[in-house]
Structures are given as C-alpha cells and as structure tokens.
C-alpha cells in the first residue's frame, strides 16, 4: 500500500453493512469495516453516536493516521437531522481535532458514482 500524502483528504463512507475509508482520488478504499450492530437504524440514519465515534476513531487507527493532520469528507444519509450532523461535527473538531470537515449526502454523491446496494457509495 502506498504511503498517504501529507495533503491527502480522508474519505469515510457509511452504509448499513460497511464502513469504508481511504484517501480521495484512490480507486479503492484502504479499509472496510463491518458496520457495528445497532449503529444505524433501518432508515440508514445513525442510531448510536457512541458507536459512530468509536468507529471513526478506529478508522484513523487502522489507517495509521493522526486525525489532526488530515481533512475529512464523511458521507451521511439524506435524512440525517441537522442536530445530529452538528453534534457529529462538533465531536470531530473537538475530540479528533480534524483541521477541516465536509459532510455530504450520499444521495448527492451517488450522482457521480454507483450505488452498492446499501446507502453508501461503491468505490470503483
């Protein structure tokens, strides 16, 4: 696996089956984790903030990256509430110290990608 460039952007996508993470511009995710049981509800929305936090922290550990060194793009489902997204963003900035964060709806991003059968993007 190639080293991650200093100016890379970490991309994390969630769906009801998997969490995929890697680097923007690469054709495949660097890691794929099974979505923890109970983290998402049947509508794809995050049901457990603590599991989401644990999973995102695990992503950075598995990528061997310091979260305070890389901007992050995270996908969300279209029906995630503004209150949840604000809570998530505050946690990313205050606890992981990410330098920049963009949260984008997977429904919008899928226009340029392919669906994988869940509510996440397929890496290709």
pLDDT of residue 38: 66
Q: For residues 16 and 84, which has the higher predicted lDDT (pLDDT)? A: 84
Question: 3.30.420.40, 2.40.50.140, 3.90.1150.10, 3.30.230.10: which CATH number matches 10-122?
Answer: 3.30.420.40
Q: What is the pLDDT of residues 59-108, one digit of tens each?
A: 999 999 999 999 999 988 777 888 888 999 999 999 999 999 999 887 66
pLDDT of residue 27: 85
pLDDT of residue 124: 44
**How far apart, in whole angstroms, are the C-alpha atoms of residue 88 and residue 73?**
13
**How far apart, in whole angstroms, are the C-alpha atoms of residue 116 and residue 44?**
14
pLDDT of residue 91: 94
Are 17 and 45 in contact by the 8 Å Cβ rule? The answer is no
SS3 (DSSP) at 121: strand
SS3 (DSSP) at 79: coil
Instruction: Kindly report the pTM of this predicted structure.
Output: 0.80
How many CA atoms, within 13 angstroms, populate the side-chain half-sphere of residue 47? 12
């Amino acid at each position: 696996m190639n080293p991650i460039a200093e100016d890379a952007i970490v991309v994390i996508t969630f769906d009801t089956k998997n969490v995929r993470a890697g680097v923007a511009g690469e054709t495949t995710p660097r890691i794929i984790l099974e979505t923890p049981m109970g983290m998402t509800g049947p509508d794809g929305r995050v049901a457990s903030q603590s599991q989401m936090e644990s999973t995102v922290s695990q992503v950075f550990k598995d990528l061997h990256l310091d979260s305070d060194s890389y901007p992050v793009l995270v996908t969300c489902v279209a029906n995630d509430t503004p209150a949840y997204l604000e809570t998530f963003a505050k946690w990313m900035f205050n606890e992981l110290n990410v330098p920049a964060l963009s949260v984008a709806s997977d429904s919008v991003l899928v226009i340029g990608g392919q669906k994988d059968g869940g509510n996440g993007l397929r890496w290709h």
